[in-house]
Each structure stands twice: as C-alpha cells, then as structure tokens.
Amino acid sequence: MHGFTPLRISVALASVAAVMGTGVAFAGSSPDTARPAQASAPAASDPTEPTQGFIVGYKSHAEEARSNAAIVKDAKAKGDRAGEHLSFERRLGTGAALVELADTAKPEDTQEAMAAFRSDPDVAYVVPDRRVFPTAVDPAEYRYQWDLYESRAGMNVPSAWKQATGKGVTVAVIDTGITKHTELGSRLVPGYDFISNSWTATDGGGRDSDPSDTGDWANRGECGRDRNGNPVPARDTNNSWHGTHVAGTIAATANGYGTVGVAYEANIQPIRVLGKCGGSTSDIIDAITWASGGTVSGAPANKTPAAVINMSLGGGFTCDQAYNTAIKAAVDRGTSVVVAAGNDNADASAYSPAGCGNVITVAASDREGNRAAYSNYGRSVDVTAPGGETTVRADDGIWSTINKGTRSLGSEGYASYQGTSMAAPHIAGLAALLKQTSPSLTPAQIETAIKNNTRSLPGSCSGGCGAGLADAARTLTAVTGN
C-alpha cells in the first residue's frame, strides 16, 4: 500500500449540492462551503421536478396488473383526457408500469397526467420516475485504511477476519458500474447494466449485460438547472468511478497489493444504474428486483442472487410506494439492503432510499468518531460507520479503488473519498461476514446483530446516529459465540 501515490480527483458528485435545491431527486451532496446552502427536501409532487416519466402501480384485481395491452390502452385514454401524449414504456420488475410523456411536455403536464391516474380506483399509487445520484463527496489523499483498524473510530475489522472473510457471499453494488482493477477482478460475478437511457449510459446503448462504468463526467449546466435557476453541475466535473470505489471498500482482495475490503473474499455483483447526470428510480427499482433474484422483463435470470445489496445513492424525496415495494420484495427474498443516509446534514427521513422501510440506513463518522459534518441523521438512521471527512486533514477520507481517467478510461489507481457512500459499504461488508458465518440469518436478524453490538461514538453526534458506531469483531463474536 505504501508504494502507491494517492490520486486527487474531483468526484463527479460535485454537482450534487446544486441539484438538491430543486425537485431533482438524489440523496446526498457535499456541504462544501464553495457550494450553495441546502434547501429543504422537496415533496414528491413538487411541480418543478424535471421528470417526464412516472411509475404506476395497479391494484391486483385490475386488468392492467396482468396485461401490457391494457396498460397501453389505459395510458392512451388518460392521455387523451389530459390532453397529453402518454406512452407505456415497460413493466418494472415489481409489476408496476413506467409511463412517459412526449419530450415536449412541461413539468406541469406531468402533474396533470399523474392526477388522471391517481383518480382511477384501480390504481394503487403513482409516483414520479426521479433522478438520483451517488452520495460521495470530494476526495482527499491518504494512504492508510484507518477506518478498518484504528482503535478510536475504526470499525475493528481485522479482529473479525479471524472468524469470517465473506467467502461465498455475493454483494450487489447498485451504482455506476465497475472498472477493471487488480484488486477486484477475482471478486466479480456477472452483473447487469440497467441504465435504459443511452445518453445517461454514455456507452452507446441502453440495457445490456455489461455493467462496465464508462464514466459520468459532465460539463457545467449539462444536467439542467435547479429550482433557483443555477446550472447543474455548478462547475465542470470529471469521472467519479464511484461504483469501483464502493466495491473496493466491500471486497478488495487481500493480495498484498494496495487495499483490502471489509469482506475481502466476498463476491461483488456490479449493477449499473448511474451514469451522466445520475440515474432514474425506475431503473434502480428493476436493479433491486434483479439483484435479489426477482424477474425483470428483458433481463436474463440472475444466476447468483445477492445476499446483500449496497446502494450508496439517493434522492431528496420521501420514500414512495414504488421504492418500498421493490425493497420489501428483495428483503422477503432474503436479501439485506444497505443504503447511505445522505450528505446534506439533514434528517435522513426526507431522503430515499434512506428513509424507506426494510433497509439498513448508514450515517457517516469522521476519523475522530464524530458524526461527519455532512452526514444526514435522525430516526431513520440505523447505524454509523466510517465515512471520512477531509476538511481538517486531507488523509482522513476512505481509501479505495478507482480508475485514474478523468474524462475517459485510464489506468487503475486509488483515491480517498468522503461521504455516506463510503460508510454504507462498510456495513454491507459486515453483513457479508455475518452471512458467511451464519447463512440462515435473515435480513432482520443481520440488522439486529449489527445494531445490538455497536459501541458509542467516541466523538459527538447531534441529531441521531442510530445505534452507534458499528464494531465488526464484536458483532461476529456475538453471533458465533467465538
């Protein structure tokens, strides 16, 4: 690890703070003082939300719940009444329908079309198809993985390795995809690219079986404008390689080269949902379904369903029924779902999936054991894990795998990031360790074990940090009795 020079890059998530002041949905940005102050999270029905698609869940007795042809007919009829051109795009893995307006439609037209569906007694719910982003913050340089081993605020991981390494357990990383890296190649099982929009995907097409990260760089203003009219992103950004960084924290192999993951013998299933300017909730819902072993039309069967899902992403909206339905189904299949709390120093309950049910929501702590200044907090938070904070010392972030390319693919490397995006994979890795030692553990039992065996944060936490700072060795010992 000492032989590698840390790489300072600018995470593409630099655009996130500007977005959060609008109806655009994502769960976390940096509180960097160079960025505008964060406004309160918008309601799900905020008319400024720049979406032309929405998700419709029909009640089980409705013909549309079984027939795509019936949905096409229903969308046309409701569009005619609303004076809009509506099209049925596809059925999601949960059975809900994705409906879209013509490209010329305005945000208020979307609201009118959604109202037409809400008035139908055969419709269970209608929610926007929102755009979400990764929840990392700017990187810093440092060389050591204090988050694993330091006694003050580390997660006490090396002692846990005496009992488990994650071997045989698959963790799905629903994120930006993955790049080739020496420390990750042996850990991969087949994943999928669920980005349906080719412009967002930046790989020349839509959904396919290649979850490779082709980059998420964006020029100033390329992702639209926030509710105050400010360009998003506020400045040009480079590739974040966010999914690769998250995957390394979970399962970078212990090969004596570079870094090591919390569950270094676990399998990583890369699932791509985030690209240029983020990603959509409809794609994420299908990714959750597929990762947990559910069926998604057009996608092949997942031969290696994940025992754990990590989602270091989110949006500034309260959890809706579309998200809740997908997450509950995944948990019912036996998959633990770990999510980032968000990076806006706000109540996590106003963010999704952080505020959803059936998830393990993770806040971030700094190297001193305080709640990180950017981390969301509150009753929705279940547990805290190291997420880093670089405002005092540049080497206090979370060190993991990346690619060095700024606006194209480059060579493999390492970087230090901070964010609840970095905290969540620590808990996903711990869940994998638990699943190896006790395969029969349910998601609820895994969550309880992690929460019941935390230790108090050695620093301060205002607003609520869940059960406390996760302790890997203590948790494994409590479950195995060793």
Residues assigned a catalytic role: 175, 242, 421
Residue closest to 356 by CA, chosen among 318, 382, 397: 318
One-letter identity of residue 277: C
Cα–Cα distance between 363 and 462 in angstroms, integer?
12
Q: At what angle do helices 107-118 and 68-82 cross, to 10 degrees?
A: 120
| Partner residues linked to 127 by β-bridges | 55
CA distances from 178 to 211, 231, 310, 343, 426 (A): 7, 28, 14, 23, 18
Coil vs helix vs strand at 383: strand
CA angle (31 as vertex; 155, 153 as ends), nearest 5: 15
18, 99, 201, 202, 455 from 140: Cα distances, Å: 21, 42, 27, 27, 27
**Which two structure tokens, joined as six digits, stand for 222?**
């390329």
User: Which of 169, 345, 127 minimizes the C-alpha distance to 264?
Assistant: 169
Residues 6+ apart with CB under 8 A from 77: none
Q: How many residues would you count in the chain?
A: 482
In a 3-state reduction of DSSP, which class is residue 254?
coil
Computed from CA positions of residues 24, 287, 199, 126, in that sequence, does the dihedral angle turn out positive or negative? negative
Whose tokens are 């309880």? That residue is 448
Q: In whole angstroms, how far apart are CA 97 and each of 64, 93, 177? A: 9, 9, 25
**Residue 134, C-beta contacts closer than 8 angstroms, at least 6 positions apart:** 12, 13, 28, 175, 176, 240, 242, 274, 278, 312, 313, 421
CA 207/CA 200 separation, integer angstroms: 11
H or E segment and range at residue 171: strand 170-175
Q: Tell me which residue has tokens 């005619």.
A: 80
Note whether 140 and 8 are within 8 A (CB).
yes
DSSP 152: T
DSSP single-letter state for residue 449: H
Residue 360's DSSP bridge partners are 338
User: Which residues are bridge partners to 128 per DSSP?
Assistant: 54
As a whole number of angstroms, the distance between CA 341 and CA 360 comes to 9
User: Distance between CA atoms of 419 and 426, rounded to whole angstroms?
Assistant: 12
The C-alpha atoms of residue 317 and residue 336 are separated, in whole angstroms, by: 22
